[in-house]
A and B are shown apart, each in its own frame.
Chain A
């Protein structure tokens, strides 16, 4: 009965590889997001989707490509991974603008 679930929780991979992170929410929310939290704990928005439509693309390298097959899912694919991509990636969802986000448990990505 997890509200926002992300997989995998941990991901260790070599530079140059391609990887995907999956996110699913069962809350019936219309909007989903990807945030990146770096080592200094800054949460930075990457993408926002509303009803499967891309709303926000926050100057993220085009190696990062989100995909929303339906409004309950928002996946993140990363090509040609770099050391600087190491961070915790959080998926989140919200129903409307007056409610806070519900975050997934995060995916800790380590690029070696």
Chain B
């Protein structure tokens, strides 16, 4: 079966660091993606991991362990505008289908 789990909600303070975890069990794997979605808007692509390890992009980093079926998104120097839902998604082996998790709503407080 296909299953992607991530926490429903998290709260963090402006300027802090937050880590959003994602675990997955899918029938195939061809990459893991993180997307950001502000309320009422479309998801926007943040990061892509296909090999184990850490990918860094400015304030955002994403980590993948394929053997553990685990990823995390790390957000540093949090800003109020980072308040959004963060969606973990796994692309299947064929490459044409991406399964999304339910998303983690992040609240950044002053």
Q: Are B30 and A97 in contact (CB under 8 A)?
A: yes
Complex Cα spacing A11 to B50, Å: 38
Q: Are A43 and B96 in contact (CB under 8 A)?
A: no
Q: Output the least CB separation between B33 and chain A (Å).
A: 5
Instruction: Give the interface size class of chain A.
Output: 20 to 34
Q: Are B97 and A97 in contact (CB under 8 A)?
A: no
Within 8 A of B (CB), among A56-112: 56, 58, 90, 96-106
Q: Are B48 and A43 in contact (CB under 8 A)?
A: no
Complex Cα spacing A90 to B100, Å: 13
Q: Output the least CB separation between A18 and chain B (Å).
A: 25
Q: Output the least CB separation between B25 and chain A (Å).
A: 17
Number of B residues near A (Cβ < 8 Å) is: 25
Given A48-B97, A104-B42, A105-B42, check contact A41 B103 (CB 8 Å).
Answer: yes
Q: Are A99 and B48 in contact (CB under 8 A)?
A: yes
Within 8 A of A (CB), among B59-107: 85, 87, 89, 91, 94-100, 102-103
Q: Output the least CB separation between A54 and chain B (Å).
A: 10
Q: Are A43 and B97 in contact (CB under 8 A)?
A: no
Given A90-B42, A105-B41, A106-B42, check contact A98 B98 (CB 8 Å).
Answer: no
Q: Are A55 and B42 in contact (CB under 8 A)?
A: no
Q: Are A101 and B102 in contact (CB under 8 A)?
A: no
Q: Output the least CB separation between A35 and chain B (Å).
A: 8
Complex Cα spacing A103 to B87, Å: 13
Partner of B45, one of A56, A102, A105: A102
Given A98-B50, A103-B42, check contact A56 B31 (CB 8 Å).
Answer: no
Identify the A interface with B (CB < 8 A): 31, 35, 40-45, 48, 50, 55-56, 58, 90, 96-106
Instruction: Give 4 nearest A-B pairs by CB, closest first.
Output: A100-B45, A97-B95, A103-B42, A43-B100
